[in-house]
């Protein structure tokens, strides 16, 4: 996971070991599987954050844990730790999108697909050890990271990764991307400002989708959500007559 985190206290007096000293080493790759230096570095970043906290983790720590040189790390991520954080965010969202796409099998419409996507994403994020540690110990740092451009990165990554999976239900790639962005906004809102509602509960997620997401995604060719609402109101008139603007009578035309 990739957002700044405070965490386990690390003694400032602890000596920095040389790069070739023994220390955390990445798990060996399965036989026949090649692990890129970038993935190795991002895996090491997660390992170091869980051990020291993001604020205490250094580029040297990540290089040592990944088993690569500091120079190689900077060639991969010229911006240093900040660039690794961004890359880790993109990777996490891509992994989340893969999990969500697998759970969309059998969805019957956009509402069902969005509900499944939100439930799947919420459960995926609940299992993200670094994110949950951060939200528990230093939620303010999450909000600060989001305010400093991290939110836009999450939304862009969501549109690119989850948009194609939602496109068949939304009617077009652009609408699929828009649906994924609004679902991501909902998830981030509930993660950073939690309530008693559990988005991992299909009934809760489905209610939010119906009330807040679907009204903006009326089927193409069927008018806007507000037009549909007006049509519904005309077929089911309110018992209360509409209020006329001040200074007019019912037979006066209101001009803009």
183 within domain boundaries: yes
Contact 110, 166 (CB under 8 A): yes
Q: Is residue 15 part of a domain?
A: no
**Rg of the chain's alpha carbons, rounded to an integer?**
24
Phi, then psi, of 178 in degrees rounded to 5: -65, -40
Task: Kindly state the tokens that stand for 82.
Answer: 């900040």
Residue 145 forms part of a structural domain: yes
Q: Of the candidates 212, 208, 182, 176, which has an alpha carbon nearest to the alpha carbon of residue 195?
A: 208
Residue 1 lies in a domain: no
Q: Is residue 113 part of a domain?
A: yes
Task: Name the helix (H) or strand (E) containing 192.
Answer: helix 173-192
- Residues 44, 116: Cα–Cα separation, whole Å: 32
Distance CA(140)–CA(143), nearest Å, equals: 5
Which of 24, 74, 72 is CA-nearest to residue 47?
Answer: 24
In a domain, 171, yes or no: yes
Per residue in 224-246, pLDDT tens? 333 333 433 333 444 344 444 44
pLDDT of residue 196: 86
Give the pLDDT of residue 245: 42
What pLDDT was estimated at residue 34? 64
Residue 178: per-residue pLDDT? 95
Residue 100 in any domain: the answer is yes
Pair 130, 175: CB distance under 8 Å: no
Q: At what angle do helices 173-192 and 129-137 cross, to 10 degrees?
A: 40
Residue 250: predicted pLDDT? 44
Domain enclosing residue 154, as ranges: 92-219
Query: Tens-digit pLDDT profile for the chain (256 aa)?
Result: 444 333 344 443 333 333 333 344 444 444 444 679 999 999 999 999 888 887 889 999 999 999 999 999 999 999 999 899 889 888 988 898 889 989 998 999 999 999 999 999 999 999 998 888 878 877 776 787 788 778 888 899 889 889 999 999 999 999 999 999 999 999 998 888 888 889 999 999 999 999 999 998 865 544 333 333 343 333 344 434 444 444 444 444 444 4
CB 118 within 8 A of CB 158: no
In a domain, 67, yes or no: no
Among candidate residues 40, 54, 37, the one with its CA nearest the CA of residue 2: 54
How far is Cα 118 from Cα 189, in angstroms, rounded to an integer?
12
Digit-coded pLDDT (tens) for 51-91: 888 788 999 999 999 999 999 999 999 999 989 988 988 89
Whole-number pLDDT of residue 20: 38
Q: pTM for this one?
A: 0.67
Number of domains in the chain: 1
Query: How far, CA to CA in Å, does 164 sit from each of 98, 188, 204, 225?
Result: 11, 20, 25, 23
């Amino acid at each position: 996971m990739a957002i700044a985190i405070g965490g386990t206290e690390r003694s400032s007096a602890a000596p920095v070991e040389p790069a070739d000293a023994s220390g955390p080493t990445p798990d060996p790759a399965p036989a026949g599987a090649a692990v890129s230096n970038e993935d190795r570095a991002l895996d090491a970043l997660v390992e170091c954050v869980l051990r020291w906290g993001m604020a205490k983790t250094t580029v040297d720590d990540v290089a040592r844990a990944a088993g690569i040189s500091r120079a190689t790390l900077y060639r991969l991520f010229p911006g240093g730790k900040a660039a690794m954080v961004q890359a880790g965010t993109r990777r996490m969202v891509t992994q989340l999108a893969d999990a969500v796409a697998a759970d969309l099998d059998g969805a019957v419409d956009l509402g069902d697909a969005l509900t499944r996507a939100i439930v799947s994403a919420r459960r995926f994020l609940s299992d993200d050890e670094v994110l949950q540690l951060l939200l528990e110990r230093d939620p303010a740092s999450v909000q600060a990271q989001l305010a400093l451009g991290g939110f836009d990165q999450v939304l862009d990554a969501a549109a690119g990764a989850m948009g194609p999976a939602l496109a068949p239900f939304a009617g077009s790639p652009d609408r699929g991307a828009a649906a994924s962005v609004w679902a991501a906004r909902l998830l981030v809102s509930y993660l950073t400002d939690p309530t008693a509602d559990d988005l991992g509960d299909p009934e809760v997620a489905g209610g939010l989708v119906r009330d807040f997401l679907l009204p903006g995604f009326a089927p193409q060719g069927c008018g806007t959500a507000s037009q549909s609402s007006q049509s519904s109101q005309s077929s089911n008139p309110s018992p209360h007559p509409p209020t006329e603007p001040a200074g007019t009578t019912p037979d006066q035309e209101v001009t803009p």
